[in-house]
Amino acid sequence: MLKPDRIYNGKMKTLLSAILFLCLFAANVHLYSSTGHDVAIDCPLCGTKVSYWEQLSYSIFTYGLDLKPMGAARIPQPIPKCENCGFAFIEDYFNDEEIKTLRHHIVDQNAFSGKENFPDYYYLAFETELLNSKNYDEVVYFYVCSVWEYSFSKLTAEYMEKEGIENVNGINFETDKFIFLMQNAIEKINYLDNDSGQYNNMQLVKLDFLRRSNLFDEAKALIESIKNNERIYQGIAVDIIAYQIELIEKSDVNEHYLNEIEKND
Ligand SMILES: [Zn+2]
């Protein structure tokens, strides 16, 4: 149930991990402290050298109510993004034909113009959506990841402000953009097929994004529909729904985690 990442296999598996809340601020080089290393690779679109932090191992402590894994790691897994052409990618995820198509859209037709300072996963999702060759579940998943990634920026920005730390890493966070990313993910979730393997999980993700976007009436309507769907309304989902109702009653728009439910019991 709580494995929105199960659509991935092999190398993709290493992509999925949790953001680190406690260690987040311990390391000033990478802002997080899971095991990994710096990797330099060539951008498949324009050939520019791209370096990024490849996270290799991590542990997960709990999940957000939006099913985001949380632990001693950065979630979602950092991915390379070319500073020259803006291409965000996962190594070996796009085949040669897809790279050709994307080069046309991004380099020749400037598909990213007007889209500045979005999370890396937003670009990855957008690229995946441009192709007809990928599974729509993955498009939705990457858009959800863009919210998870931006939430990491939010935590980091809030922490730096609280501690008076200079923003040397260029952390960018805007509330309007955060709301946009959640709305955008909800819209993509709405187009998921009922029989998609991601459908049930994504209803819970959508519910959390609705609540955090202050759309309480829509959240309540979704709760009713989830309660009437026995494929979703079972196991931990029952606890999640009870907690969401509690949070909505308090007009709480913050992020919350499954381990809070366990503590409440
Ligand atoms: Zn490039």
pLDDT tens digits, one per residue of 68-90: 998 878 889 999 999 999 999 99
- Does a structural domain hold residue 3? no
**Joined tokens for residue 245:** 């109702």
User: In this structure, is residue 5 part of a structural domain?
Assistant: no
What's the structural domain count of the chain?
1
Q: Residue 252 sits in which domain range?
A: 10-264
**Within-domain flag for 2:** no
Listed range (95-99, 105-109, 192-196, 259-263) with the worst mean pLDDT: 259-263
Between the CA of 131 and the centroid of ligand 1 the distance, in Å, is: 18
User: Does residue 116 fall inside a structural domain?
Assistant: yes
Q: How far is the CA of 112 from the centre of ligand 1 (A)?
A: 12
Report percent pLDDT > 90 for the chain. 66
CA of 90 to the centre of ligand 1 (A): 13
Distance 250 CA to ligand 1 centre (A): 46
Q: Which residue has the higher pLDDT, 265 or 124?
A: 124
Query: Where residue 34 falls among pLDDT bands split at 50, 70, 90?
Result: low
Report the separation in Å between the CA atom of 149 and the middle of ligand 1, taken as the mean of its atom positions.
Answer: 21
Q: Is the pLDDT of residue 150 over 60?
A: yes
Residue 186 falls within a domain, yes or no? yes
**pLDDT of 152 higher than 80:** yes
Domain assignment present for 239: yes
- Of 50-59, 195-204, 235-244, the least confident: 50-59
pTM score: 0.86
pLDDT grade for 185, boundaries at 50, 70 and 90: very high
